[in-house]
Amino acid sequence: MISLGEDHARAPSLAIPASEPQPETPSARQDAPSPGDSHFLTVRGIRVRYASVGRGKPLLLLHGWGSSLDAFADLTQDLGRFFRVTAFDFPGHGSSDLPATTWTVDDFVELTLELMADLGIARPSVVAHSFGGRVAIKLAAARPDAVDRLVLVDSAGVPPPRTAGRVLRRAASKFANAAARRFGRPGQTIRRAIVRRIASPDYLNAGPLRDTFLAVVNEDLRPSLRRIACPTLLVWGESDEDTPLADARTMERLIPNASLLVLKNAGHFSYLDQYSRFRLAVIPFLNG
C-alpha cells in the first residue's frame, strides 16, 4: 500500500524548512565537523559513515528520515565538550550504503547495536530526532541494559488519529493498487497519478527506500513505549506540524519515567529552532 503520510517525519537532508525560524546555533559552521572528519565501517555488510568527537560519558545521536549525521553538526561539536559523542548515517541516508532488502525498524535497531559493539560504545545515552526516535524507542524497549538515558526530540512512533481524510486516502490507495494489478500499463498510469496526489513527501522522495519507508511508518510503537525503563526526556516544538504535540502527550503518558519539555516558537526541528533552551535542559538531564 502506498504511504498516506502515517509517519510525520518530514526532515530535509541538511536544511531547515524555509517557513521555520532560523535556528540558534552554538558555534560557527566552520567549527562544526565536516564530512572529512567522518569515517566508515562495515556493519551487517553495509558501509556506514560515522563521526565521533569529545570524551567522557558516551552519547549517541540518531537522525531523522531523509537526513544524516550532518543535521547534528553543531550539536555534535557543542556536546563533544561534555560527552563522547557519536553520530552515524542510517543505511540509505547521507553517505551510508543502501540496504539490499526492505528493512523494518528492528533492522535499524540491530544495526545500531552492532555499530555500538564495533565502536566500543557501552550503555550510551541517546538523543534521537524524528525517525531516529523510532529506532531509539525500540532499542530502549528491547534492550534496557543498552541505554542509560533517552532524549526523544519531536519523535515519530505514534500513529496519527483516524480521520475522514485519511480513510478516503487509504481507499484511494487500495483502488490505485488494484488498478495497477488488473489493467496493466494503463493501471500503472492511474496508480502513479493517484500516488502523486495522496502520498506523503517522504514517500515520494524515498526512491529505493520506499518499501522500507512503508514498513517503518506502518508500525505502531505505542506498545514499545510502555517497556522503556530508562529516564526519558521528551523535547517538542510547540508548533510541530509533522509530529504534533499530541504525540508527545501520548509518549509522556505511556513511558513510565518520562518528562516533557515544550519549546515555544519551535517546529519539528525544535533542537535547532530553540537551541539555547534545548541545551540548557538536555545537558543537565544527560549528566543526571
Residue 181: the pLDDT is: 73
Clarify whether residues 239 and 124 are in a common domain.
yes
For residues 118 and 52, the answer to whether their CB atoms sit within 8 Å is: no
Q: Quick check: 5 pLDDT over 70?
A: no
Q: Is the dihedral of CA 29, 35, 40, 46 positive or negative?
A: positive
Q: Quick check: 168 pLDDT over 60?
A: no
Report if residue 4 sits inside a domain: no
For residues 32 and 227, the answer to whether their CB atoms sit within 8 Å is: no
Question: Domain containing 227: what range?
Answer: 29-159+208-287
Clarify whether residues 259 and 274 are in a common domain.
yes
- Burial (CB < 10 A; 0-12, 13-18, 19+), residue 223, is exposed
Clarify whether residues 184 and 266 are in a common domain.
no
Residue 160: the pLDDT is: 86
Report if residue 192 sits inside a domain: yes
Clarify whether residues 50 and 132 are in a common domain.
yes
Residue 180: the pLDDT is: 63
Clarify whether residues 213 and 243 are in a common domain.
yes
For residues 60 and 124, the answer to whether their CB atoms sit within 8 Å is: yes
Residue with cell 550510551: 124
If pLDDT is split at 50, 70 and 90, which confidence band does 175 have? low
Where does a domain end: 198, 218, 247? 198
Q: What is the distance between the alpha carbons of residues 204 and 199, in angstroms, rounded to a whole number?
A: 7
Angle at 131 between CA 130 and CA 133, to 5 degrees: 70
Task: State percent of the chain over pLDDT 70.
Answer: 74
Clarify whether residues 139 and 270 are in a common domain.
yes
Q: Quick check: 28 pLDDT over 50?
A: no
Domain CATH code at residue 217: 3.40.50.1820
Clarify whether residues 170 and 150 are in a common domain.
no
Report if residue 65 sits inside a domain: yes
Clarify whether residues 144 and 178 are in a common domain.
no
Q: What is the pLDDT of residues 188-232, one digit of tens each?
A: 676 566 555 645 666 566 789 999 999 999 999 999 999 999 999
Clarify whether residues 174 and 137 are in a common domain.
no
Model-wide pTM > 0.85? no
Q: What is the pLDDT of residues 224-278, one digit of tens each?
A: 999 999 999 999 999 999 999 999 999 999 999 999 999 999 999 999 999 999 9
Residue 18: the pLDDT is: 29
Show the 3-state SS of 47-108. EEEEEEECCCCEEEEECCCCCCHHHHHHHHHHHCCCCEEEEECCCCCCCCCCCCCCCCHHHH
Count the domains in the chain: 2
Would you state the cell numbers that stand for residue 149, as one nine-digit string? 538515558
Clarify whether residues 153 and 178 are in a common domain.
no
Report if residue 71 sits inside a domain: yes
Q: Is 139 helix (H, G, I), strand (E, B) or coil?
A: helix
Residue 82: the pLDDT is: 96
Q: Quick check: 68 pLDDT over 90?
A: yes
Report if residue 10 sits inside a domain: no
Report if residue 182 sits inside a domain: yes
Q: What is the pLDDT of residues 98-134, one digit of tens each?
A: 999 999 999 999 999 999 999 999 999 999 999 999 9
Clarify whether residues 39 and 102 are in a common domain.
yes
